[in-house]
Amino acid sequence: MQKFFFLPLFVCLSLALHSQSMRFGIGSCADGENGNNDKIFQTLEKEKLDHFLWLGDNAYYTEKDWQSEEGMLAAMQRRHASPALASFLQSTPQLAIWDDHDFGPNDSDSSFAQAAASARVFDKTWLDNPTDLDAHGDLRWNLRMGPALFVGLDNRSHRGPKGTQMLGKDQLRYLRDLLKAHRDAAWVFIAVGSQVLNEAEVFENYCQFPERDAFLSMCHAHPGQVVFLTGDRHHGEINRSLRGSLVEVTSSPLTSGTYAPSADELKANVNLARGTVITAQHYTIIELSEDGLSAEVIFKDSMGKELLVFVIQAQGLE
């Protein structure tokens, strides 16, 4: 097992926040077909987490499913009826964002005809999410937990073709206002389905959308430590921005098949923390220290064996 340490590049500020430890889990890509390994949820239940945050592709709709709201709801209910998963869902507080497979067809965007119906199904399914679908027309949410602000962003409802937008102007304003209102947050965890810091133009990541510049600028401006939480890729990794202190934890997959990044992607992605790629089914634990000065990011396999520990050292606020 390897251990990595990341020291942010911004000027350190003195810490002034309430001491509070926190231990939560993240993961994505939980296909329930083809005999996939739902025993991972038995392992997760034993972790006794403060909460678990699903990072998209939490279920996999088929073409038959996404034809109607009733079909998507039935598919989600079938997925959650797995005994190991059902027990985990009952035992641990759950938060969630979505991505293409629990939204609609593969790589689908806001042009998907059943987008509104899909959002209603998701909103009914993940009841712990503090969403307001009627007010926003999407599944964005935020939750403050002591020194940490959690933000769930919707990367599907306003998404256009590559080269246009992924989140949209209104959702970016929402994030800007949140970051201003929570400048005292020592930690900001932003969950979004598509990778943010990967510089290789692959699959559906954010570097292929011009609005990323504005998104990253507002995140760089926050005085606390901003950590992006993403899934989608069927492998895990850590990215960190060369300019500033931003970190991204990609955790994928829970039960779906695994795929390693290509040699070309590894070469192009200058933000990748070398040696952090995980090509096994896994989940990830993030644990804030009692003093709030650091966080351990622990990748674990389906049996709970540690695969990688990455430590983020962050200074707080005056």
What is the model's pLDDT at position 1? Answer: 52
CATH code 3.90.25.10 for 2-313? no
Q: Report which residue type is found at 242.
A: L
pLDDT in tens, 35-54: 568 999 999 999 999 999 99
Mean pLDDT to the nearest integer, 182-199: 97
DSSP assigned state of 96: E
Q: Examine the pLDDT at 316 and tell me if it is beyond 80.
A: no
How many angstroms from the chain centroid is the CA of residue 302? 19
Across the chain, what does the average pLDDT equal? 91
Strands (E), the chain: 2-6, 22-27, 51-55, 94-97, 141-145, 148-152, 187-191, 225-230, 237-240, 247-250, 282-288, 294-301, 306-313
Task: Specify the residue for token string 């001491």.
Answer: 19
Residue 33 CB neighbour total at 10 angstroms? 10
Position 16 pLDDT exceeds 90: no
Q: Which tens digit of pLDDT belongs to each residue from 97-150?
A: 999 999 999 999 999 999 999 999 999 999 999 999 999 999 999 999 999 999
Please give the average per-residue pLDDT across 81-96, as a whole number: 97
Orientation angle between helical segments 69-80 and 115-125, nearest 10 degrees:
30
Mean pLDDT of 44-70: 98
For residue 270, which of 189, 191, 201, 192 has the smallest C-alpha distance?
A: 201
Q: Which pLDDT tens digit goes with each residue over 210-251?
A: 999 999 999 999 999 999 999 999 999 999 997 778 999 999
Single pTM value for the model: 0.93
Residue 313 is predicted with a pLDDT of: 86
